[in-house]
């Protein structure tokens, strides 16, 4: 009889700062790769829950292949084999709001609106924000990039006060703020996956490190923060494990699940 010790377990992990290191270059330890393949070989369902677009994730194809739909663009899209199973784009009036924000609060050095596989870029030049690249399509989120963490935190406070009734504002690293629809996020995508699999799933395990992972922790049966995660995330998680630099995903698979 085949060993299916992880049958019914869906493991969803953030990428940067969790599965990979926090350099932004998606450096995944071999120990994690080996553990992921072992986990799937024993009946587990493995996927990524990331703020990244799908095209960024193709670089993992030679390392491992997930066997469950991917949560991408901060939970606003769920993809399986390049097919969109679920999407929660920005509302049409969001573009005007974002352009108003750009004009009124030119505190960031760059902003970009993300489509499924492209982005419109606004850049600060000579004290003004100008569009330096356009992209046509459905927009899912907007990113604001800052020179300092203090500027980013201050901007987030302003945005939540003025637009918090319409949009969700999350940081995925210290100098970046993301805007997406109020009712969207990784948690919303995890709810979709639970319905998608139904009784096939007995336990959903979510792992993360930053603010944009918080919403999915409330949807998990077991929520895990890596040691390098921010305190706001650790407070809402069931348990804490080792740092992303100490092969956190391998530790979870072998010692916790």
- Which sequence spans correspond to the domains of the chain? 9-87+185-256, 94-181
Average pLDDT estimate for 7-14: 98
Mean per-residue pLDDT, 199-222: 97
62 or 156: which carries more pLDDT confidence?
Answer: 156
The predicted model gives 110-138 an average pLDDT of 86
pLDDT-derived band of residue 217, with 50, 70 and 90 as boundaries?
Answer: very high
pLDDT for 105 beyond 80 = yes
Q: CB of 77 within 8 A of CB of 86?
A: yes
Tell me, what's the pLDDT at 237? 98
Return the minimum-mean-pLDDT range out of 5-9, 44-48, 91-95, 229-233: 91-95
From the options 3.30.1240.10, 3.40.50.740, 3.40.50.720, 3.30.420.40, give the CATH code of 94-181. 3.30.1240.10
Global pTM?
0.93
71-85, 104-118, 144-158, 159-173: least confidently modelled range? 104-118
- Residue 55 pLDDT class (50, 70, 90 cuts): confident
**pLDDT average, residue stretch 176-192:** 96
Region of poorest pLDDT, from 46-50, 102-106, 240-244: 102-106
- Phi and psi torsions of 179, nearest 5°: -115, 130
* Confidence grade of residue 82 (pLDDT, cut at 50, 70, 90): confident
Residue 27 has pLDDT above 90, yes or no: no
Name the average pLDDT for the chain.
93
Q: Residue 45 pLDDT > 70, yes or no?
A: yes
9-87+185-256 placed in CATH 3.40.50.1000: yes
As a whole number, mean pLDDT of residues 120-124 equals 87
Query: If pLDDT is split at 50, 70 and 90, which confidence band does 242 have?
Result: very high
pLDDT at 125 over 90: no
- pLDDT confidence bin for 1, thresholds 50/70/90: low
């Amino acid at each position: 009889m085949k060993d299916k010790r992880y049958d019914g377990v869906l493991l969803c992990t953030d990428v940067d700062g969790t599965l990979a290191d926090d350099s932004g270059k998606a450096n995944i330890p071999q120990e994690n790769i080996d553990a992921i393949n072992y986990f799937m070989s024993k009946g587990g369902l493995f996927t990524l829950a990331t703020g990244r677009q799908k095209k960024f994730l193709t670089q993992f194809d030679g390392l491992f292949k997930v066997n469950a739909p991917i949560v991408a663009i901060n939970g606003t899209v769920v993809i399986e084999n390049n097919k969109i199973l679920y999407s929660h784009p920005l509302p049409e009036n969001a573009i005007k709001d974002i352009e108003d924000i750009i004009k009124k609060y030119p505190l960031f050095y760059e902003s970009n609106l993300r489509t499924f596989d492209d982005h419109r870029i606004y850049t600060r030049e000579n004290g003004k924000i100008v569009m330096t690249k356009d992209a046509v399509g459905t927009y899912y989120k907007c990113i604001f990039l800052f020179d300092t963490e203090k500027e980013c935190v201050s901007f987030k406070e302003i945005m939540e006060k003025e637009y918090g009734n319409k949009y969700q504002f999350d940081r995925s690293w210290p100098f970046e703020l993301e805007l997406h629809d109020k009712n969207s996020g990784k948690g919303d995508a995890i709810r979709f996956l639970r319905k998608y699999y139904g009784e096939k799933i007995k336990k959903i395990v979510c792992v993360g490190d930053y603010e944009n992972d918080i919403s999915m922790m409330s949807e998990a049966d077991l929520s895990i923060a890596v040691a390098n995660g921010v305190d706001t995330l650790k407070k809402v998680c069931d348990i804490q494990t080792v740092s992303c630099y100490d092969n956190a995903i391998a530790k979870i698979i072998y010692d916790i699940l």
